[in-house]
Amino acid sequence: MNVDFSTSYNNDDRHYMTTKFFMSTRFFKDQLEKLLETTRPDCLIADLFFPLAIEATENFNVPRLMFHCTGNYSLCSKYCIRVHNPQNRVTSSCEPFVFPDLPGNIMIT
């Protein structure tokens, strides 16, 4: 599901519909398990947002690959924020900050 295609223009409604969609995925579990049982695939590739795949593949001893679409740069940035904690180094919300471990040392405010 691409939440950008939500029919609602209100952010609260969009958030509600997105949450409702992801909560409804738990109802796919029975169908997924039936599919795994009957087709016995070599592997299942699942998105990070479908954790039901973890239990289903374990139940039928099917290998799985989980992925998420977060880019490497954002993962590195998140790591650097956690490690270097710019809140302890920056005195103003407008002050530029360079994360020492990021390639290219882009200035972030």
Q: How does pLDDT run across 54-81, given as a tens digit for each residue?
A: 889 999 999 998 877 777 777 787 887 7
Alpha carbons 9 and 7: distance in angstroms, whole number:
7
pTM of the model: 0.52
Alpha carbons 55 and 59: distance in angstroms, whole number:
6
Query: Is it the case that residue 3 has pLDDT exceeding 60?
Result: no
Q: How many CB atoms lie within 10 A of CB 8?
A: 13
Residue 23's pLDDT band (cuts 50, 70, 90): confident
The domain limits of the chain are 3-67, 72-108
Non-local (6+) Cβ contacts of 86 within 8 A are: 97, 99, 108
Average pLDDT, the chain: 79
Q: Which residue has the tokens 């699942």?
A: 46
